[in-house]
Amino acid sequence: MSRLFLFLCVWLSLWSETVLGSILAIDYGADFIKASLMKPGQPFDVLLNRDSKRKIQSSVGWKKNDRLFGQDAANIAGRFPLDSFSSLKFLQAVPYESDAVSFYTSISTADVVKTERGTVGLRRSDGTEWTVEELIAMQFAYVRDLAESTAGEKVNDVIVTVPAYYTQFERDAVVDAIEIAGLRTLALINDGAAVAVNYAMTRSFPEPEYHVIYDAGASSIRATVVQFASVQSDPKSKSTTKDATQITIQGVGYDRQTGGTELDRRLRDIMVADFQKRYKRDITTDKRGMAKLWKEAGRIKAILSANTEAMATIESLAFDIDYKAKISRAEFEAASKDLKLRYAVPLLQALSNAGLRMDDINSVILTGGSSRTPMIQEAVKAAAGANKIAQNVNADEAAVLGAALHGAALSRQFKTKDIRIADIGPYDIQVSYQAEAKTPGARPRMINTLVFPAGSKTGTKKTLTFKRQDDFAVKLAYKTPPAPGFPTEFIEAEIVGVGEAIQNLTEAGATDPVIKATVMLSESGFASVRDAFVSGEFKDESITGKLKDFFGKGSSSSQPVDATTADVGTAEEEATESPSASSSAAETSATAVKPKEPIALEIEVKFPTIAPMSVKQKRAGRDKLLAVDAEESTKRKREEARNTLEGYLYKLRDLLSDESSESPFVKCSQSAERKALAEKTDETLAWLADYGDDADTIQYIDKRTALESLERPIVHRYKEIEEFPKALNNSQMWNWSARMFITEARTNLTRELETGAVGKYTKEELDELEKTLKEHETWLNEWVERQKSVKMNEDPVILSSEMRARAKVLENHLQKLVKKRVPKPPKKSTTSSTTTAKTAEEEETQTTGEASPRPAQDEHGHDEL
């Protein structure tokens, strides 16, 4: 699909007139970052980095005191292995003792440490420690700076892609990094759904279609079964089409441990084994050597995707040994044969979760950088059939473009195709709470209720009903560990104020008070306890209510439950779940009871296992990043000041060394001035050589200012010599224009006086203009004559700026007359009586100095009696 076609299909030049803003989309991968900027009136495309590349390596590092990003940060790993950090996606919110950390240490030379939250941080060679969230925040901030440079304005809102299998812990880590970077989270979108949006943008679906999006990335392999269908568009929406496209995620499958990075590790291990066999040296103890091998493994993998052999070449790999080796695709595939059996598993798993067969699928859409690897393609073709394989999206950019389009739809600022997403959660999420003891000293029991089974739609709510008398805690947890080493519990919500609220309702006449808590699975995949309240039923004491109660149609003790309610316990242990809207309808269905306003309860949220960063921790991280930014800004300004001074010194040295009499610099300067400037230049060059490395920005600026003060008179003369002819020509032009105007206007005035016509200009106005003209001509002639005797290396006696200012006075005077409107001629009287009345009126005015009131006239113009 051509990018131009995509541009034509997305109408991003139409936006709300009242709200304007840019949206940044980021596809954060283990190897590369892709970004896209949505700005009203700007072409929609992938964001380029400062090297005009369409993707940025997911790396940040330091070369001594200089922070680097992207390819520059990755390249220094061979020299500074403890100061280059890549593949950080593997460490997002993972417990320090988890398998993910062991895998990361097998592919990276970075030094990992344990944070106070039990997650992973990384330590630089100088001892500085950074959390993973802070390092990823640096990369987000770098991308934001690129976006702001392109947009020409501040960028605040961001939408980020995440794998569908990301847990609550990992999603929290992404949002924490976004906030530390100074951005605002518009949404998180699963990468499979993002690719689906991109796929649907230029297509229509008269009949429902099923496709599998097979995403082979660096960190993992994901498969997403998607249904595309057309539905009626909301007439109130800003859609560009009448029909909307409904994207429904039917099932997902994934393998966290199989991806492009694992293939790189296998290739690197081939070279490690070959080196140790040939040279009998253990290269694994040399961090620089291992970093060089890792970089080479990535290059070799790309070559073997298109060739059967590749030559590895690393100069001075380790122990002063230059390494060369030929690696074949067959050797590489043999070392990875155990992985080949796993490549199709996510595809089959996704189909199984969706309840579909391969025959139901229209195509398998390949995306992700590792989808180009031959052995992965072969495995997918074997499972799906070659005729099902589709490569009709950009493997690298489909996710970020789809995320950007979805972000535009969420913002309501852009007019795009109406595409709706119905995504799902991949894990069983249950609510756990301790049963209220029936008797004193009874053994406590935990009640577990499955509220969001795997495959539940995101953006849904469920209401839990509890019969309690005191405060209690509700825990949200995964039914099984979501990944090796990860805990199951992620939120503990303490519901506070139960006893007091129940007492207040009971005293008001309520019966059977219950606690209702709303649990939500958000569109971005976060589960939470949103609110809790106590409600009860009140007896209807009216005659109608009593009659209905008598006939059994209403009871204060009844507990209406609609069809969606599921009973999960009895008595104190009872908890029911239902959509909140249905629950509300059920509460009002019993006509013999009158609902009363429920009492809201306070919810105190705790994190029993891996906690997201606290506000204090995020603020501290943000301050650390700002401090680094400020230090780099100061350093950048210092380097700019030094470079500017050096360039200026070399320019002056070249000017002073040219002693040709035809040189403008020599013509406009005096020997004493050149001598003083030469001495100051030599002095500053000597200072720069001796003390320049330790100088600060102000010193560089002061040195340059001192030199400029000596050169300024010379530069001033040269500029005045250049500007003088232009200013003189401008002055003479206005003199000529004014003279021509006066001549013509006086001729017209004479003719008007002879004929009695009303003239546009008076004699006084023309005399005043002529006076201004003569003053300007006299001044100009006098000072031009004086300037003729001034030499080129002497200061001018008349400045071009003053010439323009005096010419401007004449110009304004002339323009005032030119723009003057012609006076309207006086109206002629139609009757003798009117003429007589006007004459009398004028005479009276001349006598008294003011006009007397005119008598009223009838409709024919005669004075009324």
Angstrom CA distances, 97 to 374, 482, 485, 549, stand at 35, 15, 7, 63
| CATH architecture for segment(s) 261-340 | Alpha-Beta Complex (3.90)
Specify whether the CB–CB gap between 436 and 472 falls below 8 A: yes
Angstrom CA distances, 459 to 64, 128, 331, 425, 428, stand at 47, 41, 48, 10, 16
Query: 366 CB contacts (<8 Å, ≥6 apart)?
Result: 214, 216, 377, 380, 389, 390, 391, 395
Tens digits of residue pLDDT in 505-525: 888 888 889 999 999 999 999
Say how far residue 647 (Cα) sits from the centre of its chain.
37
**Domain boundaries 626-849, corresponding CATH code:** 1.20.1270.10
User: pTM for the complete prediction?
Assistant: 0.79
Q: What H or E segment, with its residue span, contains residue 451?
A: strand 446-452
Q: What is the structure's pLDDT at 533?
A: 95
Q: Do 3-258+342-422 and 626-849 have matching folds?
A: no
Residues of the chain with pLDDT below 50 are: 1-20, 550-551, 553-594, 832-865
Domain boundaries of the chain, sorted by first residue: 3-258+342-422, 261-340, 429-613, 626-849
The domain made up of 3-258+342-422 has a fold known as: Nucleotidyltransferase; domain 5 (3.30.420)
Specify whether the CB–CB gap between 169 and 613 falls below 8 A: no
Q: What is the structure's pLDDT at 753?
A: 84
Angstrom CA distances, 154 to 21, 23, 51, 145, stand at 9, 10, 22, 9
Q: What is the structure's pLDDT at 377?
A: 94
Specify whether the CB–CB gap between 367 and 395 falls below 8 A: yes
Q: What is the structure's pLDDT at 830?
A: 53
For residue 120 the two structure tokens come to 């992973």
Tokens 């961090």 found at: 287
For residue 20 the two structure tokens come to 């304007």
For residue 850 the two structure tokens come to 């003011």
Instruction: Provide the β-strand partners of residue 63.
Output: 66
Q: What is the structure's pLDDT at 815?
A: 94
Q: What is the structure's pLDDT at 138?
A: 98
Q: What is the structure's pLDDT at 508?
A: 85
